[in-house]
Chain A
Amino acid sequence: MQATHHSARTADLCLIGGGLVGLATALGLQRHGLNVTILDEADVALRASRGNFGLVWVQGKGDTLPEYAQISRLSARLWSDLASRLREDTGIDVELQQRGGLYLSLTEQEVADREAMLLRMREAAGGDYPFERLDLQQVRDFIPEAGPEVAGATWCPEDGHVNPLKLMRALTEAFLKHGGQIANSGRVESITPLAQGFKIQTPEGEWQCQKVVLSAGLGNRTLAPMVGLDAPVFPNRGQVLIAERVRPFLHYPTGHVRQTGEGTIQVGDSKEDVGFDSGTTTEVMAQIADRATRMFPILRGLRMVRAWGALRIMTADGYPLYQASEQYPGAYLVTCHSGVTLGAFHAGPLADWIATDQTDLPLEVFNAQRF
């Protein structure tokens, strides 16, 4: 017993943090034949991965950083391959749908501003950036239930969504099936760089590994300095409302309201700076419900069944942090706000970079020196 336990405590590579970011990256690393362990906190942890909105979203992402637009679109293109691999490995259908998405607005001004932003992005992408501005009539071609207060929308054919909880489960099962280990060993206390590799101290004992990836979301802030990195991330709360399941009527995801494959209505998109408080407030829930029912009056008669708050992992510019430690080679920082969208990117090209220390991607723009 003791011996098995002990030998289980070394790995080629340890990831600290087993949310969507850590799990997706871990799956990609396993494809390089690495023996991978994930060290994760207990169930009391803050977990954006269990509270998000499930969009695989392209439009508007990277409006001030073309490289971010590039990796978001790359991920969207890689997503169907990830979804089919997960289905083959685990039998779980993550309900990926990528037939396009709409961002509805209740004011003309907002539609105009979004169109201007997307036109700038199109220019930055050398003309290759598909989107359309829609008026209310055109919105109704996609969603007949759009209400009379809707001023218009922007439409992008590359947008989509998944079921984020099924995704968590599928990633976890696939990772375990490929021989990965998940240790719910509590909050990592220290990482010590050794002559060869790293030693990681947890409340449940020590682990040793050649490489270490920090994928601990908001926890990265305290972990990063232990390996010569900096992770200036902070929490930003989003509240989400869930309405009872109804027959399908919303056949495309929107920025504020979507319907899952099983009929559930999910409503969200609030942004609050409230520290580490992941609760809900009546005021914000009322605002969210008000906007959603103006966009889709048909929602008025539905019962709300749940609401929650969850904390986004934000940087000052909203863009990811991908960085290898120069001081302690073998340590990497991987964290971002849009971990659902970027899931296929993390499970592919990003993991390839960590495994091989080589990449054609412009990852240098995502290091923390920019702040």
Chain B
Amino acid sequence: MPNASEFPRIETGAAEWVEVEVDGQPIQVRAGDSAAAAVLAAGLVPSRSTPVNNSPRAPYCMMGVCFECLLEIDGTENVQGCMTEVRPGMQIRRQQGARHAEPVTHEDRQS
């Protein structure tokens, strides 16, 4: 699933690697990355679809303004990925259309 990314990582120093899952796939990211950066670095775009037209979107401003980076993070939908720092084991999912009013559960996440 992870594919070629348009966002090559610039070596900046000795941050640790952290493993998160995006749509169930393990991805290595740097501690301090945002969830949106993790998704971009892994080439997992589009990272959401819009509620009204289902059109594809990806993180854009990376500074909390545009809301294009909405993701489901650890079971909470519509979270701004660019404002959320990764944690080891974080479960990230693409946000498909409108969120649910109630908390989501995923039957397929049993490991």
Which A residues are within 8 Å of any B CB, using their own CB? 145, 244-247, 249, 262-263, 298-299, 301-303
Contacts and interface: CB of A to CB of B under 8 A. Distances in A.
B98 A246 contact: yes
Interface in B95-111: 97-103
Nearest to B97: A247
Contact of A301 (B51, B52, B97, B103): B103
Interface residues on B, range: 10 to 19
Contact of B51 (A145, A262, A303): A262
B102 A244 contact: no
B91 interface: no
A246 B99 contact: yes
A23 B38 CA distance: 51
B78 interface: yes
Interface in B31-49: none
B102 A263 contact: no
Nearest to A302: B101
A262 B101 contact: no
A22 to B, nearest CB: 29
8 contacts: A244-B78, A244-B99, A245-B99, A246-B98, A247-B99, A263-B51, A263-B52, A303-B78
A249 B101 contact: yes
Given A245-B98, A246-B99, A263-B52, 15 more contacts: A145-B101, A245-B51, A245-B99, A246-B98, A246-B101, A247-B98, A247-B100, A247-B101, A263-B51, A298-B101, A298-B102, A301-B101, A301-B102, A301-B103, A302-B101
Interface string B50-94: 011000000000000000000000000010000000000000000
Contacts, number: 30
Given A244-B78, A263-B51, A299 B98 contact: no
A247 B78 CA distance: 12
Majority SS at the chain A contact face? loop
Contacts of B103: 301
A245 B51 CA distance: 7
Report, nearest first, the 9 A-B pairs whose CB atoms are least far apart: A245-B51, A246-B101, A263-B98, A245-B98, A298-B101, A262-B52, A247-B98, A247-B100, A249-B101
Contacts of B99: 244-247
A169 to B, nearest CB: 15
Contacts of B102: 298, 301
Contacts of B51: 245, 262-263
Nearest to A243: B101
A74 to B, nearest CB: 33
Contact of B100 (A246, A262, A299, A303): A246
A301 B102 CA distance: 8
A301 B76 CA distance: 10
Contacts of A247: 97-101
A263 B58 CA distance: 21
B84 to A, nearest CB: 14
Contacts of A245: 51-52, 98-99
A145 B97 CA distance: 21
Nearest to B70: A244
Contacts of B101: 145, 246-247, 249, 298-299, 301-302
Interface-centre pick from B78, B99, B100 (highest chain A CB count, 10 A): B99
Interface-centre pick from B99, B101, B102 (highest chain A CB count, 10 A): B101
